[in-house]
Chains A and B, each alone.
Chain A
Amino acid sequence: MMDFSEIVTLIVRSVETGSIYALVGLAMGIIYKASEVPNFAQGEMATFSTFIAFMVLTVHGAPFYVAFVVSLLFAYILGIAFEFLCVRRAKNPTILSMIILTIGLQMVLYGLSGWVFGTEQRAFRLPFSQFETVEIGGVVISHLGLATIIASFVLMCLIYWFLEHTKTGLAMRASQQNSMAARINGISSNRVVNLSFGISSIVGAIAAMLFAPIITLSPDLMWDPLLKGFAAAVLGGFASLPGIVFGGYILALIENLFGLWFSLEYKSVVAMGIIVLVLYIKPSGLFSKHYQRKV
């Protein structure tokens, strides 16, 4: 069996990868809560934003924080533009037609990033090294890993603070709970949905920028994390943001245990297995928040 320090190491590693899953899941959850649409373009939106950071870094030789800010700005604009130009235009949309719309954007962005930035693997570096490590309380962790954990945690706190303690966050939560009641209180649901797409896109872009250094940057960067983030959201419950974060960490832990006890090679089937299992055991936890109302 594992000794104590091995267990702690396992948990820290799981928090490290789980942070990425949690952020991707959160990005999807934020849009889902506002519009009941799982956004399958989330990964490509994030990848495209990361390519923007990459261009600013390499072509323009700008410092990292500039690239970071430019990329997030781009991500925000991409998010609100997609909502404003495509999602909002849909006439009498059904959930299925909205999903198809997001898949359409996914394909467009995937093709576009390959065309504009090339399909080769690029090295995307953050100021935090993946190979230099620190030891905290007997656990060895890379600078990048530590930065990932801290950045995700800070971002989650920010999202929490925003939703709980600002007027706009309050409007978003109200709109999610009962959009009819929110609207007659003067809250514009258009604005809430639009903002949700923008914020979600930023969260996704941060996840992608934290993830890109671990592998390499290419148009399919976020395929795997998107599946994992989706699984995390399914596991924790799409309707609950804290649930999604929890789902992200748990998924990473299960994956690591699976890798330890069974097979490293097939670690990825865990996410799929979890999606299927949750759908089988508790499908109501999934896209269940559909109310029919007569006004």
Chain B
Amino acid sequence: MSNNPFFTVDKISKSFGGLQALKELSFHVNKGEIYSVIGPNGAGKSTLFNCINGIYKPDTGSVKIQGQEITGLRPDQVAAHKISRTFQNIELFSNMTTMDNILLGRHMHMKTGVFSASAMLWKNSFSAKDETEHRRKVDEIIDFLDLQASRNKLVSQLPYGIQKIAELGRALATEPELLLLDEPAAGLTNEEREDLIFWIRDIRDELGITIILIEHNIQMVSEISDRIIAINFGKKLVEGTVQEVTNNPDVVRAYLGAD
């Protein structure tokens, strides 16, 4: 397993001007794991995701999925390697409905070609087989995430918590093998968080998707993670099982103590 891990980050560094947001950070994630990244504000967690999915190019180091080098690729190219993500500050098409947002997640799977009429968003105006198939997949995701009531509403009109779930749906629609979730529970009610924990487990168990999770809520992290990495100032503080990490004195000092 450790010879050929599913996903590896090897000594990536990233600085913004004088500020080093990531310093030679390395870790690996096994297939089917829920791997959590914790650390105080400004530790470099979101920067890590941005380096993985190509929004930033790491200064040095390498990122690999299933042995394939993806370092420095553009976000759309990384997406083609079956990596999807959600953002700390939701990124959705706010003037489109939940349905259409999730349908856009299907974009890569739609038949290509400039004049392929298979991708029409307009209801009933064309009933290509391909399109029906995509709509069916989207409806599956909508059912899975309990989004039926929001299906045909503009996402900008949805409550914050529902928007976060819709964004998760959009990410699932791309059919990823690796899902990066950046603080998915932030801003959710307790009830919504319980649902989210349930879904994240299901996504891993039922869909077999590997998950890297950034989360501040240590209780939630302890509950669902297989392994955890704690980072501070862009460096690895400690990595291991829930027990190992949450009992580590450095973590307690740098992170848990600060809460």
Taking a contact as CB atoms closer than 8 A, the residue among B108, B121, B126 that contacts A185 in the complex is: B108
Q: Report yes or no: A165 in contact with B126, Cβ–Cβ below 8 A.
A: yes
Which A131-173 residues sit within 8 Å CB-CB of chain B?
A: 164-168, 170-171
Q: How far is B119's CA from A186's CA once the two chains are assembled, in angstroms?
A: 15
Q: How far is B77's CA from A190's CA once the two chains are assembled, in angstroms?
A: 12
Cβ-based interface call for B232 (8 A):
no
A186-B174, A188-B74 given; A167·B96 CB < 8 A: no
Contacts between the two chains (Cβ within 8 Å), count: 96
Cβ-based interface call for B53 (8 A):
yes
Q: How far is B80's CA from A186's CA once the two chains are assembled, in angstroms?
A: 6
Chain B residues with Cβ under 8 A from A188's Cβ?
A: 74, 76-77
Q: Report yes or no: A166 in contact with B114, Cβ–Cβ below 8 A.
A: yes
Q: Report yes or no: B84 in contact with A184, Cβ–Cβ below 8 A.
A: yes
Chain A residues with Cβ under 8 A from B107's Cβ?
A: 167, 170-171, 174, 185-187
Q: Report yes or no: B111 in contact with A181, Cβ–Cβ below 8 A.
A: no
CB distance from A159 to the nearest CB of B (A): 13
Contact indicator per residue, chain B 118-158, by CB within 8 Å of chain A (1) or not (0): 11111001100000000000000000000000000000000
Chain B residues with Cβ under 8 A from A178's Cβ?
A: 91-94
Cβ-based interface call for A288 (8 A):
no
Which A87-109 residues sit within 8 Å CB-CB of chain B?
A: none
Q: How far is B78's CA from A184's CA once the two chains are assembled, in angstroms?
A: 8
Q: Report yes or no: A177 in contact with B94, Cβ–Cβ below 8 A.
A: yes
Q: Report yes or no: A183 in contact with B93, Cβ–Cβ below 8 A.
A: no
Taking a contact as CB atoms closer than 8 A, the residue among A168, A177, A185 that contacts B79 in the complex is: A185
Q: Report yes or no: A180 in contact with B91, Cβ–Cβ below 8 A.
A: yes
A178-B94, A187-B76 given; A166·B108 CB < 8 A: no
Chain B residues with Cβ under 8 A from A182's Cβ?
A: 104
Q: How far is B114's CA from A166's CA once the two chains are assembled, in angstroms?
A: 7
Chain A residues with Cβ under 8 A from B94's Cβ?
A: 177-178
Among A167, A168, A190, the most chain B Cβ lie within 10 Å of the Cβ of A167
Contact indicator per residue, chain A 187-213, by CB within 8 Å of chain B (1) or not (0): 111100000000000000000000000
- Chain A residue with minimal CB distance to B118? A167
Q: Report yes or no: B46 in contact with A295, Cβ–Cβ below 8 A.
A: yes
Q: How far is B93's CA from A181's CA once the two chains are assembled, in angstroms?
A: 7
CB distance from A195 to the nearest CB of B (A): 8
Taking a contact as CB atoms closer than 8 A, the residue among B79, B93, B96, B116 that contacts A186 in the complex is: B79
CB distance from B30 to the nearest CB of A (A): 24
Cβ-based interface call for B247 (8 A):
no
CB distance from B176 to the nearest CB of A (A): 10
Cβ-based interface call for A294 (8 A):
yes
Chain B residues with Cβ under 8 A from A171's Cβ?
A: 107
A180-B91, A183-B75 given; A170·B104 CB < 8 A: yes
16 new A-B contacts, CB < 8 A, other than A182-B104, A184-B79, are: A164-B122, A166-B116, A167-B116, A170-B119, A174-B104, A177-B94, A178-B91, A178-B92, A180-B87, A180-B91, A183-B74, A184-B85, A185-B79, A185-B104, A186-B79, A293-B89
Nearest 8 pairs between A and B by C-beta? A186-B108, A167-B119, A183-B75, A186-B79, A181-B91, A188-B76, A165-B120, A177-B93
What are 30 contact pairs spanning A and B, CB under 8 A?
A164-B122, A165-B120, A166-B120, A167-B107, A167-B111, A167-B114, A167-B116, A170-B120, A171-B107, A174-B93, A174-B104, A177-B93, A180-B87, A181-B91, A181-B92, A183-B54, A183-B75, A184-B79, A184-B84, A184-B91, A185-B170, A186-B79, A186-B80, A186-B107, A186-B108, A187-B76, A187-B107, A189-B76, A293-B89, A295-B50
List residues of chain A with CB under 8 Å of any chain B CB: 164-168, 170-171, 174, 177-178, 180-190, 293-295
List residues of chain B with CB under 8 Å of any chain A CB: 46, 50, 53-55, 74-77, 79-80, 84-85, 87-89, 91-96, 104-105, 107-108, 110-122, 125-126, 170-171, 174
